[in-house]
Structure 1
Amino acid sequence: MAISLTASAAEHVRRCLGDRTKQAVGIRLGVRSSGCSGLAYVVEYANSLQDGDLTFDSHGVTVVTDPKSLVHMEGMEVDYVREGLQEGLKFNNPNVKDSCGCGESFTT
């Protein structure tokens, strides 16, 4: 699988999708140019599929991405973690070669 979710990340996404009034296909993951290291993750609801989109099923959740983003995220696992009072998605990306000090951007 090119991009996967852990069981806890899939459960979190399912809860978020269930709370929406507008039906979504799944979760869209991508990258955009940003920060001092070059790239940042983009996480959105996938309200529809677009031409060229790639989809992956992970623990019953549809993960959607575009081919240009997949180059930077191939083999990535997304986890949902709670650390103290903070919680959120954690990206375990084997393609990351370096990241900025603040953790907002990375390079592959």
Structure 2
Amino acid sequence: MLPNVTITPAAAKFINRIVRFSGLPAGAGLRLAVTPGGCSGYSSEFSPEAAPAAGEQLLEVGGVRLFLGAESRLMLNGITIDFIETATQSGLSFIDPNKEACACSSADTAPKVGVTKIEISSIGRGRPAPVMAH
């Protein structure tokens, strides 16, 4: 069964850019692996892929193609996926409207849980990098 997931416009733009700049053919999507962990309850890893792997299902939401394994499908039901960007971090955020905010004592100093950081340099720009002469 596919989860009921909401993807904000900001998250859709981020995900679609990752897939588009990956150089993969039409029909590619984002493999999203969500696992329990952290204060908010979510930890994630993602990568652009040409097609779902064995055991994964395709979830299409608002033009976004996600490839989800069984555990991720269970974890994402009812979740809103957003993209946040601050001066110190950017990434996907998973919001569960049925859970209260974290009350951890380290919440002010710890990185935002549920946010996966991705280095901007790891996203291709569609152009080869300039060659530097030595």
* TM > 0.5 fold call: yes
Secondary structure class of the residue paired with 1:84: coil
Larger radius of gyration: 2
Percent of residue pairs bearing the same amino acid type: 24
Question: Gaps (5+ residues) in structure 2?
Answer: 115-134
The aligned residue for residue 20 of structure 2 is 18
Per-residue CA deviations over 1:24-49 (Å, capped at 9, x if unaligned) read 62112223476699862122223321
Written as runs of structure 1 = structure 2, the 5 A alignment for 1:33-52 is: 40-52=43-55
- 5 Å matches for 1:77-96? 77-84=80-87, 86-94=89-97
Deviation at 1:95, TM superposition (A): 6.6
Hey, what does 2:9 align to over in structure 1? 7
The answer to which structure has the higher strand fraction is 1
CA RMSD of aligned residues (A): 3.1
In the alignment, what sits opposite 2:60? 57
- Shifted more, 72-81 versus 86-95: the winner is 86-95
TM-aligned CA deviation for residue 67 of structure 1 = 1.4
TM-score norm. by structure 1 comes to: 0.69
Are the equivalent residues in 2 in contact too, given 1:28–1:44 (CA < 8 A)? yes
1:12 Cα deviation (Å)?
A: 1.4
Q: Is the 8 A contact 1:33 1:40 kept in 2?
A: yes
Shift in Å, 1:2: 2.1
TM-score, normalization by structure 2: 0.59
Check whether the contact 1:2–1:56 (CA below 8 A) recurs between aligned residues: no
Q: 1:53 to 1:94 in 2, by over 3 A?
A: farther
User: How far did residue 97 of structure 1 move?
Assistant: 7.8
